[in-house]
Amino acid sequence: GREKLIPEMFTAIVGILEDNNVDCPTLIYYFKRHIEVDGDNHGPKALKCLEGLTDSQEKKNTATSTALESLSKRNKLWDYIDSQLVH
């Protein structure tokens, strides 16, 4: 799940913030902590858990369709948030 995506996504965000000298040390710490925890701990455990839960093709199909639906809804949420920000 998301534990695999977050480290890459947050690394990119931290890079942008640091490249633009954005003064937000608490937010950068938050992102870096998630990069560390999700990349080294939660990500591998989540994959192991998913493997145990999807022991049939039917369960794999359900997990895949649910993940795609979740990503679509998350994308809509972030698009809405972006539309509310002043650019």
Q: Per-residue pLDDT tens for 4-45?
A: 678 888 999 999 999 999 999 999 999 999 888 877 777 778
Could you tell me the maximum CA-CA distance found in the chain, to the nearest angstrom?
49
Cβ contacts of 4 within 8 Å, gap of 6 or more: 38, 43, 46, 47
Alpha-carbon distance values, 15 to 11, 51, 57, 82 (Å): 6, 32, 39, 19
Percent of the residues in the chain that have a pLDDT greater than 90, as a whole number: 63
According to the model, what pLDDT value does residue 53 have? 93
For 50, the token pair is: 């998913």
pLDDT digits (tens, 9 = 90+) for 44-64: 788 888 899 999 999 999 999
